[in-house]
Structure 1
Amino acid sequence: MRTSFRTGLLALSLWTVVQPVQAQDVTFRIAHFLPAVASAQKAILEPWCAELGRQSGGRIRCAFFPSMQLGGTPAQLADQVRNGVADIVWTAPGYSPGRFPRTEALELPGILPLGGVAGGRAIWAFYGQHLKEEYKDYKVLAMHGDGGMNIHTASKRLAGPDDFKGVKLRSPNRSIARTLTALGATPVAMPPAQVTEAIAKGVVDGASAVWEVLLPTKLDEVTRHHLESPADRPAMGATVLVLLMNKQKYDALPADLKAIVDRNSGEPLVERYGKAWDDASTIARNRIRSLPGHTLTVMEAGQYEILLKRTAVVQTEWLADARARNINGEALIAAAREAAAKSLR
């Protein structure tokens, strides 16, 4: 009888020790550089968090910090999540030039297909084969594309490569900055939150910015002319985007919560991003078509081919950078093209 009583007490004490761990609640602090109304938060991260909460019985919650509310600049988001300032960040690796050199192979002119879904599939496949070592300090939840580079200007209409000369344009990453330079434009690096004011004040003439970001940042209010690639050709350039989680935060999760995060991340989350980007792009493009005084130009095929020839130097420069880092750049470009081709099948 006494033994049974002691056994019962031991079991009860073990249960009280283990139970809080099993029932652990967590709140993910999620930071990014766009306003809260952007697709990245409203159409993707908020529904994603809601699904994590539902599947965990409310044990996973999220707190959002849009528009760099935790301080710093977009270029510092990768450090913020690695150092635990945020638990999860959504950012562009290209905002930190040279830090993720292999990723830049995807951002070269004429590599990624247009569109969120196709681009995301190509990027995720490339990540699985070639980028895991580059992101070994993080838990990578998703990696996707921005749909492809477009140009939006306030007063000068661009229709082909000759029209870029002398135009000051915001650039989101090093590859696009080099692309603009090769076309005779002057690239100006700045985060999305500053672009609209910079155009309104005449600091720049326009911006390389994708359709998805146009409405949340109110770029449609300060630009009148919009240029995009032919629909059946690869993007003139692109920005890779990534959802990174603090590795220690992920490792500390109970096994059942890890399983929920894993089940809802990776390929399913990449597809979610892609669809949301395509939907947002359609909405923005249709709005531009409906606004008086706006022009939407699709570059003619011949002009597009000229643009690719003039920007071939961007690939040459990147290959030189890669060789200096003992990176096989040729193999990475070939793999990126192969992933892009497969994403369209």
Structure 2
Amino acid sequence: MLKSIRTIAVATVFGALASSALAQEVTLRFQHFVSPNSANPKYFIEPWAEKVEADSNGRIKVEIYPFMQLGGAAPEQFDLILDGVVDGGWVIPGYQAGRFPEAEAMELPFMVTKSAEEASRAAWAFTQKHLMDDFADVHVIAAHMHGPGIVHKKGAAVAEVADFEGLKLRGPSRPATLLLDKLGATPIGMPVPQFPESLSKGVVDGGVITWEMSPSLKLDELTDSHTDVAGDKSLYNLYFIWAMNKDVYESMPDDLRAVIDANSGLETSAWAGRAHDTGDKVGLEAMTASGNEIAVLSEDATAKIEALGADVTAEWIAEVTKRGMDGAQLVKDAQDAVAEARN
């Protein structure tokens, strides 16, 4: 009888342990570098976290930290994830110029359409074809683009290429700064968080960034005009990944990894892009309501800028080809991904 009781007790303990393992809870700490009221955190990052929690029946808890609250600066985000300082986060590979050169193909002037959702579908396809080796040491959840880059500046809106001459303009990436240089501006590369202070102190006369970031950066107060190019292509665009530490991902139980997998990939990338499309509408409305000048360049002026953008692309192809990559093929594959995303 005593033996039976002991057997039942042992079985109960092992059953409880098995149940505990099955119900293992995981807390993931993700961080980003902007206001929680910005479009991507508001319309993608936070809803993504909520969906992962719901899909896991609460077994995965995703904590989101804005403004790099867990430490480090925006350009260090990839390494913070890689080294396990954070479990995951939002990364702009272009903030580390030269480290991920193939990703720049998606950021070349007039490469993608003004639909961030379309551009993000293209970004995921291009990532799968060319960038997974670059990102092999982290677990990529999504790859996406923001909406069209807009020229925001103090004073009157730019109307001609000549109006760029001598302007000190913030640029977010190497392709963007290469184009600004071609336009005659003085490009100053800097992450988003530095832009408002640089404007207020006169370090820059303006810069290129999306409509959706304008309200949170107070560009209605810090600048006077906002200019887009004509047509359906973006003056410039920026490439992002939403990623997590690979060891953390691989250490999760199979069923919880499956939850992450179900909230990854093409459709998740498109969701991130839609967040920017939504934010762009809100940002444009806010800048319009402020009374600032809202302008669109003429088709003739846009064509001149596009021609300079083509020069940037040709020079980029030559540069990366010298470094052992097939620059022409990278550009073609990026263009094909964009075309496929539009169908």
**Structure 1 length-normalised TM:** 0.94
- The residue that corresponds to 1:168 in the other structure is 168
Matches within 5 A, 1:71-220: 71-220=71-220
Shift of 1:213: 0.9
Shift of 1:287: 2.0
Shift of 1:309: 1.5
In structure 2, how many angstroms separate the alpha carbons of the residues matched to 1:236 and 1:281?
15
Q: Alpha-carbon deviations, 1:234-270, whole Å to 9, x = none?
A: 2121110110110011001111111111111222322
Return the letter of the residue paired with 2:331: I
Q: Is the 8 A contact 2:212 2:284 kept in 1?
A: no
Q: Which runs of 5+ in 1 are unaligned?
A: none
Q: Is the 8 A contact 1:33 1:91 kept in 2?
A: no
Shift of 1:218: 1.4
Q: Alpha-carbon deviations, 1:117-147, whole Å to 9, x = none?
A: 1111111111122221121111111111111
Q: Is the 8 A contact 1:32 1:89 kept in 2?
A: yes
- The residue that corresponds to 1:261 in the other structure is 260
Matches within 5 A, 1:52-67: 52-67=52-67
Shift of 1:326: 1.3
Q: Is the 8 A contact 2:152 2:225 kept in 1?
A: yes
Match of residue 317, structure 2, among 308, 316, 319: 319
- The residue that corresponds to 2:302 in the other structure is 304
Shift of 1:226: 0.7
Return the letter of the residue paired with 2:133: E
In structure 1, how many angstroms separate the alpha carbons of the residues matched to 2:70 and 2:311?
38
- The residue that corresponds to 1:240 in the other structure is 239
Q: Alpha-carbon deviations, 1:37-62, whole Å to 9, x = none?
A: 21222221111111111121211112
In structure 2, how many angstroms separate the alpha carbons of the residues matched to 1:12 and 1:320?
68
SS of the aligned residue for 2:212 comes to helix
In structure 2, how many angstroms separate the alpha carbons of the residues matched to 1:339 and 1:162?
33
In structure 2, how many angstroms separate the alpha carbons of the residues matched to 1:18 and 1:157?
66
Shift of 1:185: 0.4
Q: Is the 8 A contact 2:214 2:287 kept in 1?
A: no
Q: Alpha-carbon deviations, 1:60-111, whole Å to 9, x = none?
A: 1122221121222111000000001111110211011111111100111121
- The residue that corresponds to 2:289 in the other structure is 290
Return the letter of the residue paired with 1:297: A
Return the letter of the residue paired with 1:245: M
Shift of 1:320: 3.0
Q: Is the 8 A contact 1:227 1:296 kept in 2?
A: yes
**Structure 2 length-normalised TM:** 0.95
Shift of 1:314: 1.8
Return the letter of the residue paired with 1:340: V
Match of residue 333, structure 2, among 325, 332, 335: 335
Shift of 1:280: 0.9
In structure 2, how many angstroms separate the alpha carbons of the residues matched to 1:287 and 1:231?
22
Shift of 1:172: 0.3
Q: Is the 8 A contact 1:170 1:187 kept in 2?
A: yes
SS of the aligned residue for 2:169 comes to strand
Q: Is the 8 A contact 1:31 1:89 kept in 2?
A: yes
Shift of 1:220: 2.0
Return the letter of the residue paired with 1:257: L
In structure 2, how many angstroms separate the alpha carbons of the residues matched to 1:149 and 1:133?
28
In structure 2, how many angstroms separate the alpha carbons of the residues matched to 1:206 and 1:88?
32
Return the letter of the residue paired with 1:41: P
SS of the aligned residue for 1:15 comes to helix
Return the letter of the residue paired with 1:184: G
Number of equivalenced pairs: 343
Identity of aligned residues (%): 34
- Computed over aligned residues only, the root mean square deviation of the Cα atoms, in angstroms, reads 1.8
In structure 2, how many angstroms separate the alpha carbons of the residues matched to 1:50 and 1:290?
32
In structure 1, how many angstroms separate the alpha carbons of the residues matched to 2:259 and 2:315?
42
In structure 2, how many angstroms separate the alpha carbons of the residues matched to 1:29 and 1:159?
45
Q: Is the 8 A contact 1:183 1:311 kept in 2?
A: no
In structure 1, how many angstroms separate the alpha carbons of the residues matched to 2:101 and 2:18?
44
In structure 2, how many angstroms separate the alpha carbons of the residues matched to 1:137 and 1:176?
27
Shift of 1:304: 1.3
Q: Which runs of 5+ in 2 are unaligned?
A: none
SS of the aligned residue for 1:274 comes to helix
Q: Is the 8 A contact 2:153 2:224 kept in 1?
A: yes
